[in-house]
Amino acid sequence: MSDNSVETVKDTAENFEPKILVFACNWCTYAGADLAGTSRLQYPPNVRVLRVPCSCRVNPQFVIRAFQRGIDGVLVAGCHPGDCHYTTGNYYTRRRFLLINRMMEYMGIDPKRFHTRWISGAEGPKFQQVVTEMIEEVKAIGPNRKLRDDMKVTVNTPSTDEIVASVESDTKVVDDNA
Protein backbone atom coordinates (compact mmCIF):
# COMPACT_ATOMS: atom_id res chain seq x y z
CA MET A 1 0.00 0.00 0.00
CA SER A 2 1.56 3.29 -1.00
CA ASP A 3 1.51 6.35 1.18
CA ASN A 4 -0.87 8.10 -1.16
CA SER A 5 -3.50 5.43 -0.87
CA VAL A 6 -3.33 5.70 2.91
CA GLU A 7 -3.93 9.43 2.59
CA THR A 8 -6.94 8.85 0.34
CA VAL A 9 -8.54 6.41 2.78
CA LYS A 10 -7.71 8.68 5.67
CA ASP A 11 -9.52 11.64 4.25
CA THR A 12 -12.92 10.07 4.21
CA ALA A 13 -14.10 10.51 7.76
CA GLU A 14 -15.95 7.19 8.07
CA ASN A 15 -12.92 5.22 6.92
CA PHE A 16 -10.41 7.31 8.84
CA GLU A 17 -7.46 5.24 9.98
CA PRO A 18 -5.16 7.34 12.15
CA LYS A 19 -1.41 7.14 11.93
CA ILE A 20 0.06 6.88 15.40
CA LEU A 21 3.76 7.23 15.98
CA VAL A 22 5.19 5.55 19.07
CA PHE A 23 8.63 6.53 20.27
CA ALA A 24 9.57 3.42 22.22
CA CYS A 25 12.54 3.24 24.53
CA ASN A 26 14.81 0.34 23.62
CA TRP A 27 15.02 -1.09 27.11
CA CYS A 28 11.44 -0.98 28.38
CA THR A 29 8.68 0.01 25.99
CA TYR A 30 10.15 -1.72 22.96
CA ALA A 31 10.45 -4.89 25.04
CA GLY A 32 6.91 -4.26 26.30
CA ALA A 33 5.62 -3.98 22.73
CA ASP A 34 7.54 -7.15 21.90
CA LEU A 35 5.90 -8.90 24.84
CA ALA A 36 2.50 -7.76 23.61
CA GLY A 37 3.37 -9.41 20.31
CA THR A 38 4.70 -12.70 21.70
CA SER A 39 1.72 -12.83 24.06
CA ARG A 40 -0.58 -12.56 20.98
CA LEU A 41 -2.24 -9.45 22.38
CA GLN A 42 -4.22 -7.79 19.59
CA TYR A 43 -4.07 -4.08 18.91
CA PRO A 44 -4.99 -2.08 15.81
CA PRO A 45 -2.30 -1.83 13.12
CA ASN A 46 -2.26 1.97 13.10
CA VAL A 47 0.85 2.30 15.20
CA ARG A 48 4.33 2.84 13.84
CA VAL A 49 6.93 2.00 16.47
CA LEU A 50 10.15 3.94 16.35
CA ARG A 51 12.83 2.58 18.64
CA VAL A 52 14.98 5.10 20.49
CA PRO A 53 17.83 4.32 22.90
CA CYS A 54 16.07 6.15 25.74
CA SER A 55 12.89 8.19 26.05
CA CYS A 56 15.08 11.23 26.71
CA ARG A 57 16.44 10.79 23.18
CA VAL A 58 13.08 12.08 21.99
CA ASN A 59 13.67 15.69 21.24
CA PRO A 60 10.35 17.59 21.46
CA GLN A 61 11.09 18.73 17.92
CA PHE A 62 10.61 15.12 16.77
CA VAL A 63 7.04 15.32 17.97
CA ILE A 64 6.28 18.60 16.21
CA ARG A 65 7.99 17.27 13.06
CA ALA A 66 5.78 14.18 13.17
CA PHE A 67 2.64 16.32 13.29
CA GLN A 68 3.98 18.48 10.48
CA ARG A 69 4.53 15.47 8.27
CA GLY A 70 1.08 13.97 8.73
CA ILE A 71 1.03 11.89 11.90
CA ASP A 72 -2.30 12.03 13.77
CA GLY A 73 -1.07 11.09 17.22
CA VAL A 74 2.23 10.68 19.01
CA LEU A 75 3.04 8.49 21.99
CA VAL A 76 6.36 8.87 23.77
CA ALA A 77 7.00 5.90 26.02
CA GLY A 78 9.87 4.80 28.20
CA CYS A 79 10.89 3.12 31.42
CA HIS A 80 9.25 4.04 34.68
CA PRO A 81 11.16 6.69 36.64
CA GLY A 82 13.90 4.96 38.57
CA ASP A 83 14.19 2.12 36.03
CA CYS A 84 16.13 3.93 33.33
CA HIS A 85 18.93 1.87 31.74
CA TYR A 86 20.99 5.06 31.81
CA THR A 87 19.93 5.77 35.39
CA THR A 88 18.44 9.24 34.96
CA GLY A 89 17.35 9.66 31.32
CA ASN A 90 13.64 9.39 31.92
CA TYR A 91 13.72 12.00 34.70
CA TYR A 92 14.81 14.48 32.05
CA THR A 93 12.08 13.16 29.74
CA ARG A 94 9.57 13.83 32.47
CA ARG A 95 10.65 17.44 32.99
CA ARG A 96 10.73 18.20 29.28
CA PHE A 97 7.48 16.52 28.40
CA LEU A 98 5.55 17.98 31.30
CA LEU A 99 6.38 21.31 29.71
CA ILE A 100 6.02 20.41 26.07
CA ASN A 101 2.65 18.68 26.62
CA ARG A 102 1.36 21.94 28.02
CA MET A 103 2.94 23.95 25.22
CA MET A 104 1.32 21.77 22.54
CA GLU A 105 -2.02 22.33 24.21
CA TYR A 106 -1.26 26.08 24.32
CA MET A 107 -0.55 25.95 20.59
CA GLY A 108 -3.99 24.47 20.00
CA ILE A 109 -3.07 20.79 19.54
CA ASP A 110 -5.66 18.48 21.08
CA PRO A 111 -3.99 16.86 24.13
CA LYS A 112 -5.59 13.55 23.08
CA ARG A 113 -3.15 13.42 20.18
CA PHE A 114 -0.04 13.55 22.27
CA HIS A 115 0.75 11.32 25.23
CA THR A 116 3.73 10.34 27.31
CA ARG A 117 3.55 7.05 29.21
CA TRP A 118 5.82 4.83 31.24
CA ILE A 119 5.58 1.26 29.91
CA SER A 120 8.02 -1.29 31.26
CA GLY A 121 9.30 -4.43 29.54
CA ALA A 122 6.87 -6.52 31.59
CA GLU A 123 3.85 -4.40 30.64
CA GLY A 124 2.80 -5.93 27.34
CA PRO A 125 -0.89 -5.62 28.26
CA LYS A 126 -0.37 -1.97 29.20
CA PHE A 127 1.20 -1.27 25.81
CA GLN A 128 -1.79 -2.90 24.12
CA GLN A 129 -4.23 -0.95 26.25
CA VAL A 130 -2.51 2.43 25.85
CA VAL A 131 -2.19 2.26 22.06
CA THR A 132 -5.70 0.85 21.62
CA GLU A 133 -7.23 3.63 23.69
CA MET A 134 -5.17 6.24 21.92
CA ILE A 135 -6.14 4.99 18.46
CA GLU A 136 -9.82 5.04 19.43
CA GLU A 137 -9.57 8.56 20.79
CA VAL A 138 -7.72 9.88 17.75
CA LYS A 139 -10.19 8.10 15.45
CA ALA A 140 -13.01 9.91 17.21
CA ILE A 141 -11.45 13.36 16.83
CA GLY A 142 -10.47 12.79 13.20
CA PRO A 143 -7.37 13.51 11.13
CA ASN A 144 -4.86 16.06 12.34
CA ARG A 145 -4.91 19.23 10.26
CA LYS A 146 -2.89 21.38 12.61
CA LEU A 147 0.78 22.22 12.19
CA ARG A 148 0.75 20.24 8.95
CA ASP A 149 3.35 21.15 6.45
CA ASP A 150 1.03 21.22 3.46
CA MET A 151 3.79 22.45 1.21
CA LYS A 152 5.32 19.03 1.47
CA VAL A 153 2.53 16.65 2.37
CA THR A 154 -0.48 16.53 0.09
CA VAL A 155 -3.54 16.20 2.25
CA ASN A 156 -5.99 15.56 -0.55
CA THR A 157 -4.20 13.45 -3.08
CA PRO A 158 -6.09 13.93 -6.36
CA SER A 159 -7.02 10.81 -8.29
CA THR A 160 -5.55 10.23 -11.74
CA ASP A 161 -8.88 11.23 -13.33
CA GLU A 162 -8.87 14.53 -11.46
CA ILE A 163 -5.32 15.29 -12.57
CA VAL A 164 -6.20 14.52 -16.19
CA ALA A 165 -9.34 16.69 -15.94
CA SER A 166 -7.42 19.61 -14.48
CA VAL A 167 -4.76 19.39 -17.17
CA GLU A 168 -7.37 19.23 -19.92
CA SER A 169 -9.23 22.23 -18.55
CA ASP A 170 -6.04 24.25 -18.57
CA THR A 171 -6.02 25.65 -22.09
CA LYS A 172 -2.42 26.81 -21.84
CA VAL A 173 -1.16 23.27 -21.78
CA VAL A 174 -0.28 22.07 -25.26
CA ASP A 175 -0.64 18.38 -25.69
CA ASP A 176 2.34 17.29 -27.78
CA ASN A 177 0.94 13.82 -28.28
CA ALA A 178 -2.28 15.03 -29.86
Count of C-beta atoms within a 10 Å radius of residue 88: 12
CB of 174 to another protein, least distance (A): 31
Contact present, 113 and 18 (Cβ < 8 Å): no
Q: According to the binding rule CB under 8 A, does residue 118 interact with another protein? A: yes
Give kind and range of the element (H or E) at residue 36: helix 29-38
Q: Pattern of binders to another protein over 119-148, x per CB under 8 A?
A: ---------------------------xxx
Contact present, 121 and 91 (Cβ < 8 Å): no
Q: According to the binding rule CB under 8 A, does residue 81 interact with another protein? A: yes
Contact present, 28 and 79 (Cβ < 8 Å): yes
Contacts of residue 160, defined as CB under 8 A and 6 or more positions apart, other chains included, come to none
Contact present, 100 and 116 (Cβ < 8 Å): no
Contact segment (CB under 8 A) with another protein among 22-30, 40-48, 113-121, 163-171 equals 113-121
**Which of 5, 88 has the CB closer to another protein?**
88
Helix (H, G, I), strand (E, B) or coil at 74: strand
Q: According to the binding rule CB under 8 A, does residue 30 interact with another protein? A: no
CB of 64 to another protein, least distance (A): 5
Count of C-beta atoms within a 10 Å radius of residue 7: 17
Q: According to the binding rule CB under 8 A, does residue 100 interact with another protein? A: yes
> How many amino acids of this chain bind another protein (CB under 8 A)?
37
Among 82, 154, 167, 173, interactor with another protein by CB under 8 A: 82
Residues in contact with another protein by CB under 8 A are: 60-61, 64-65, 68, 80-82, 88, 91-92, 94-103, 105-110, 115-118, 146-151
